[in-house]
Each structure stands twice: as structure tokens, then as C-alpha cells.
Amino acid sequence: MTISIRKARTIIKAALAKGREAGMKPLSVVVLDAGAHTIAFEREDGASPGRFAIAHGKANGCIMLGLPGSAIQTRADAQAYFVQAMNGLYAGDFVPVKGGVLVRDAKGNILGAVGVTGDSSDNDAVAACAGIEAAGLVAES
């Protein structure tokens, strides 16, 4: 099983709707497949130009390590050099904060990851989870 483009659209639409509903700043949302390749992305009007890279780096870290953004952020807080090492390995495509969320099916298989950026990292994760759940999938943030 994989994330279809139809489900990816639902994820993005619902994540952005969550952001509007909660009064968040303009968000950008990326959906990656299980190999960390981009399925879909949207950047809301008013977001800064560099948001694709940030969203992608959050989601890519989740896929590469099989961990949600919160766990990666904890590790980054504990070992300063961890972020440096991962940035080197993945050519900079690694952003170790919340807002990177794993997407699993009901059996726990990793189907992909979502990366959200634009508001606080905590809020970014809330929006990502809202999107994933709207698509009937399981979010691990």
C-alpha cells in the first residue's frame, strides 16, 4: 500500500484547513512516499519562499530514521552533533524538529511522511496530524 495522489491531496487540504481554523500563520505542507520521494506539496500565499526545503527536510528525516519529528528533536537536544552528522549524511535534507510526522496504515506499516512548516513546530505537527487523520491514516508525530 502507498499514499495515492488522492489521499495526498486530502492530507494537504485538511492540514491547511486546520491551520486556517486555528489561526496559524501561512503553512506549507509536503507529502512524501515511503522512499522519501515527493508526492505533493502546497505553499500558502504569504509563506516565505524557502518553505519547500524546510517541509521536505522534516519529512525526510522521519523516513530516513523511521522516527517521528518529536523523537528526532529530543535526540537533537541531547546530542548537539547528531544534527550535524545527519545533515552531512542526507546532504542537508534534514530538519530535526516537530512538524515531521510519520504516516502509517492500520497495521503500523510506514507509508510515508508529512512535513509542515510555517507556524510553531508544535502547531505544525498539529496541522500535519489533522491532515493525515482526515485521509483515514495513522499519524505518529
Residue 15 C-beta: closest distance to a copy of itself, Å: 13
Q: Does 83 bind a copy of itself (CB under 8 A)?
A: yes
Distance in angstroms (rounded) separating the CA atoms of residues 21 and 17:
6
Residue 110 C-beta: closest distance to a copy of itself, Å: 8
Residue 118 C-beta: closest distance to a copy of itself, Å: 9
- Cβ atoms of 116 and 125 within 8 Å: the answer is yes
Question: Binding segment for a copy of itself among 27-35, 124-132, 133-141 (CB under 8 A)?
Answer: 27-35
Cell 523516513, residue located: 63
- Cβ atoms of 12 and 38 within 8 Å: the answer is no
Q: Does 33 bind a copy of itself (CB under 8 A)?
A: yes
Question: Binding segment for a copy of itself among 64-72, 122-130, 132-140 (CB under 8 A)?
Answer: 64-72
Q: Of 115, 137, 100, 125, give the one whose Cα is nearest residue 2.
A: 137
Q: Of 129, 108, 90, 120, give the one whose Cα is nearest residue 34.
A: 108
Residues forming contacts to a copy of itself in the complex (CB under 8 A) are: 4-5, 8-9, 33-45, 47-54, 57, 63-67, 76-77, 80-85, 87-97, 110
